[in-house]
């Protein structure tokens, strides 16, 4: 054998060994991998499932709004990514509640705050307790459409230190379990930008706290209503020249269809404190958000290196992408717990749903195993109520509704709904007229939402319940459900990682805002009022369990599953992910050089 032939054989042998060790090397997949490069820029590009439409922190409508607002505005404290405890960011330390012994507020509960000395607004003016007062006034203004007002029960006043306006005390007449949490999670707004003419400045906070007093002021002072109209205008919703907060980023551009970009502020005040408070860190130069629903478009952008954070992708697509060796070189695929649950909202104002036996029949007409194992590919589990399964007040002993078509038919029959004409749909004679059990099933536009809705509509039909699936944009879904313009709605709900006040969700007084089921129950109202005012953890936990038992029976909503979070993040960053919604803290991402 010639030397040339030996060398040739050795070369072939070496190539074969390389191909065995690196099966994707040299083929089409290799070409794709070699062409797949990220931009070196320090920009975190995040895919969002729905468009952000309102970047006014007091009147945000969707989670997408809130996630972007969090980078523009600051709260006093932040939910720590791993421990889920509140940590200070705008204030020097977390307040501790104290009982006032003397003075005009004797007997009240007080929280003492101090804002960082060098914390300033974009115009260079200091952030003070007066800004909190202004923010609370906007929340309590009767014609401002916000979900935050009910989080300030028993608020008495805010007292500013006469020697240092960065120090102030907030007083409450009674205990409220979320008093500190509400204060620390409210985005603080600058009065100079949102009330330049001082329409709210000269009105005492106590007048806003007193419903009768503020109502009288509105009637006598038209400028107050005019201010609210201007405050809720599109200008403060998405105009980069009008939106201003104390956060590390400013809005650079906004497009309701394509997305928006935030740019890190130069000489932002928080940078000087990062060494002593790492939660003030904001490391990317830009934050870009792309509003995308289609899994195929998401994959194409990933393969071109155009996305860094991809949450909420469908389970099937997540599994498929995770198996791709090229993508595995560039992305980490993370699975973790979350603070959300899937549900079927039921409109109690619909006469067809007024009888709880009909609602329970729908609960028995859901193929939960199919949703969990097929639609979610195992990335979810059953849940009995709106409480995270890790909480000590989760009512784990409640028997889950099972998929039982026969039981569903029996419940419908007991409520007077039977198929009298043989067309497969249950009907009932009301006031001499035969009414069929036809319902609309509203859902958001997304692959997973579509599959969930189709499955529920199919199985419900087997029980004699006809559901017509209607797909709408997420923002439209929220608008329709707030108005009560729906029958049944399949949509996820988020849960705050700490204590949760369900007063906003289920109390009769919350109908028209967050109580989108039009659910009214004296028993539930009493429990909700007791929970928020009970300081003893053990007693409050028992009340939480009793509430879940009642909700399980009366069903303002059907609790479907608690999904596991699926999130894909670029390896070009040291990323920070969390069980807290939306699953990532993009401001903490550090570019790997």
At 63 the three-state DSSP class reads helix
Using pLDDT thresholds of 50, 70 and 90, give the confidence band for residue 572.
very high
Check whether residue 401 and residue 513 sit in a common domain. Answer: yes
Rounded to whole angstroms, the Cα distance separating 495 from 505 reads: 11
The model's pTM? 0.86
Q: Which two tokens stand for residue 110?
A: 């007080």
Q: Give domain status of residue 217, yes or no.
A: yes
Tell me, what CATH number does 486's domain have? 3.10.105.10
Using pLDDT thresholds of 50, 70 and 90, give the confidence band for residue 565.
confident
Using pLDDT thresholds of 50, 70 and 90, give the confidence band for residue 446.
confident
Check whether residue 231 and residue 368 sit in a common domain. Answer: no
Check whether residue 230 and residue 362 sit in a common domain. Answer: no
Check whether residue 470 and residue 348 sit in a common domain. Answer: yes
Using pLDDT thresholds of 50, 70 and 90, give the confidence band for residue 353.
very high
In sequence order, the β-bridge partners of residue 336 are 565
Check whether residue 230 and residue 345 sit in a common domain. Answer: no
Check whether residue 227 and residue 370 sit in a common domain. Answer: no
Mean pLDDT across the stretch 343-360?
A: 97
**Given the structure tokens 């060790």, which residue do they identify?**
21
Answer with the one of 169, 203, 238 that is the final residue of a domain. Answer: 238
Check whether residue 365 and residue 234 sit in a common domain. Answer: no
pLDDT at 36: 65
Note the pLDDT tens digit of each residue in 93-141.
999 999 999 999 999 999 999 999 999 999 999 999 999 999 999 999 9
Note the pLDDT tens digit of each residue in 300-349.
999 989 999 999 888 999 999 999 988 999 999 999 888 889 999 999 99
Predicted confidence (pLDDT) at residue 161 exceeds the cutoff of 80: yes
Check whether residue 502 and residue 355 sit in a common domain. Answer: yes
Using pLDDT thresholds of 50, 70 and 90, give the confidence band for residue 12.
very low
In sequence order, the β-bridge partners of residue 466 are 438
Mean pLDDT across the stretch 168-184?
A: 96
Q: Give domain status of residue 35, yes or no.
A: no
Query: For residue 154, what are the domain limits?
Result: 50-238
Rounded to whole angstroms, the Cα distance separating 292 from 301 reads: 10
Check whether residue 57 and residue 181 sit in a common domain. Answer: yes
Q: Give domain status of residue 211, yes or no.
A: yes
Q: Is the dihedral of CA 149, 151, 152, 154 positive or negative?
A: positive
**Phi and psi of 342, rounded to 5°?**
-90, 145
Q: Give domain status of residue 391, yes or no.
A: yes
Q: How many domains does the chain have?
A: 2
Check whether residue 62 and residue 173 sit in a common domain. Answer: yes
Q: What is the 3-state secondary structure (H, E, C) of 387-441?
A: CCCCCCCCCCCCCCCCCCHHHHHHHHHHCCCECCCCCCCCEEEECCEEEECEEEE
Check whether residue 216 and residue 79 sit in a common domain. Answer: yes
Alpha helical stretches, state H, 221-351? 222-231, 235-238, 295-303, 315-322, 325-330
Would strands 438-444 and 488-494 be described as parallel, antiparallel, or unpaired?
A: parallel
Check whether residue 395 and residue 511 sit in a common domain. Answer: yes
pLDDT at 34: 58
Across the chain, mean pLDDT equals 91
Mean pLDDT across the stretch 144-165?
A: 95
Mean pLDDT across the stretch 523-533?
A: 97
Note the pLDDT tens digit of each residue in 256-267.
888 999 999 999
Tell me, what CATH number does 160's domain have? 3.90.76.10
Least confident of 6-15, 156-165, 325-334, 532-541: 6-15
Question: Could you count the other beta carbons within 10 Å of the beta carbon of residue 365?
Answer: 28
Inter-CA distances, 53 with 50, 57, 313, 476, 492, Å:
9, 11, 21, 11, 19
Alpha helical stretches, state H, 36-178? 63-72, 129-140
Q: Give domain status of residue 42, yes or no.
A: no
Q: Give domain status of residue 308, yes or no.
A: no
| Full DSSP string of 185-210 | TSPP--HHHH-TT-TTTTS-HHHHHS
pLDDT at 383: 94
Mean pLDDT across the stretch 53-80?
A: 94
pLDDT at 494: 82
Contacts of 588 (CB under 8 A, 6+ apart): 81, 281, 282, 283, 576
Q: Give domain status of residue 296, yes or no.
A: no
Mean pLDDT across the stretch 45-74?
A: 93
pLDDT at 5: 33
Predicted confidence (pLDDT) at residue 402 exceeds the cutoff of 90: yes
pLDDT at 3: 37
Q: Give domain status of residue 213, yes or no.
A: yes
């Amino acid at each position: 054998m010639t030397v040339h032939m030996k060398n040739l054989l050795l070369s072939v042998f070496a190539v074969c060994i390389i191909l065995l060790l690196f099966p994707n090397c040299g083929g089409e997949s290799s070409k794709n991998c070699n062409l797949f490069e990220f931009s070196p820029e320090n920009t975190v590009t995040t895919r969002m499932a729905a468009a952000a439409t309102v970047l006014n922190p007091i009147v945000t409508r969707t989670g997408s709004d809130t996630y972007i607002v969090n980078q523009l505005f600051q709260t006093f404290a932040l939910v720590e990514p791993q421990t889920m405890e509140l940590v200070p960011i705008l204030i020097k330390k977390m307040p501790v509640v104290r009982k006032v012994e003397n003075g005009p507020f004797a007997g009240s509960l007080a929280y003492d705050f101090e804002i960082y000395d060098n914390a300033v607004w974009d115009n260079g003016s200091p952030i003070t307790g007066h800004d909190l007062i202004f923010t609370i006034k906007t929340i309590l203004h009767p014609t401002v459409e916000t979900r935050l007002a009910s989080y300030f029960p028993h608020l008495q006043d805010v007292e500013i230190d006469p020697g240092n306006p960065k120090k102030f005390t907030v007083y409450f007449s009674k205990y409220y379990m979320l008093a500190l949490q509400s204060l620390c999670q409210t985005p603080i707004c600058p009065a100079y930008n949102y009330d330049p003419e001082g329409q709210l400045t000269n009105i005492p906070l106590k007048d806003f706290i007193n419903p009768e007093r503020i109502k009288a002021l509105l009637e006598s002072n038209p400028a107050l209503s005019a201010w609210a109209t201007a405050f809720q205008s599109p200008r403060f919703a998405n105009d980069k020249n009008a939106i201003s907060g104390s956060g590390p980023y400013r809005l650079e551009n906004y497009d309701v269809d394509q997305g928006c970009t935030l740019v890190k502020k130069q000489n932002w005040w928080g940078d000087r404190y990062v060494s002593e408070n790492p939660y003030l860190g904001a490391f990317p130069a830009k934050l870009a958000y792309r509003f995308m629903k289609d899994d195929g478009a998401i994959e194409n952008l990933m393969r071109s290196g155009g996305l860094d954070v991809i949450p909420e992708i469908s389970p099937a697509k997540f599994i498929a992408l995770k198996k791709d060796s090229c993508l595995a070189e560039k992305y980490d695929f993370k699975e973790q717990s979350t603070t959300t649950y899937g549900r079927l909202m039921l409109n109690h104002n619909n006469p067809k749903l007024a009888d709880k036996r009909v609602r329970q029949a729908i609960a028995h007409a859901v193929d939960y195993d199919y949703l969990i194992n097929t639609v979610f590919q195992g990335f979810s589990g059953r849940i009995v109520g709106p409480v995270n399964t890790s909480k000590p007040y989760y009512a784990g002993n409640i028997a889950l509704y099972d998929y039982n078509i026969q039981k569903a038919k029996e419940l419908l029959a007991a409520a007077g709904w039977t198929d009298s004409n043989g067309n497969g749909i249950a009907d009932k004679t009301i006031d001499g007229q035969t009414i069929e059990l036809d319902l609309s099933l509203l859902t958001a536009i997304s692959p997973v939402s579509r599959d969930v809705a189709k499955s529920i509509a199919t199985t419900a039909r087997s029980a004699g319940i006809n559901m017509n699936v209607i797909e709408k944009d997420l923002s439209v879904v929220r608008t329709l459900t707030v108005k009560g313009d729906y029958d049944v709605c399949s949509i996820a709900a988020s849960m705050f990682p700490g204590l949760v006040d369900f007063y906003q969700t289920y109390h009769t007084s919350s109908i028209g805002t967050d109580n989108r089921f039009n659910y009214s129950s004296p028993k539930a109202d009493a429990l909700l009022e007791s929970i928020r005012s009970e300081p003893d953890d053990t007693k409050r936990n028992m009340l939480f369990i009793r509430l879940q038992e009642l909700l399980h029976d009366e069903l303002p909503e059907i609790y479907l599953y608690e999904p596991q979070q699926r999130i894909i993040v670029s390896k070009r960053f040291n990323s920070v992910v969390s069980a807290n919604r939306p699953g990532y803290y993009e401001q903490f991402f550090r570019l790997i050089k």
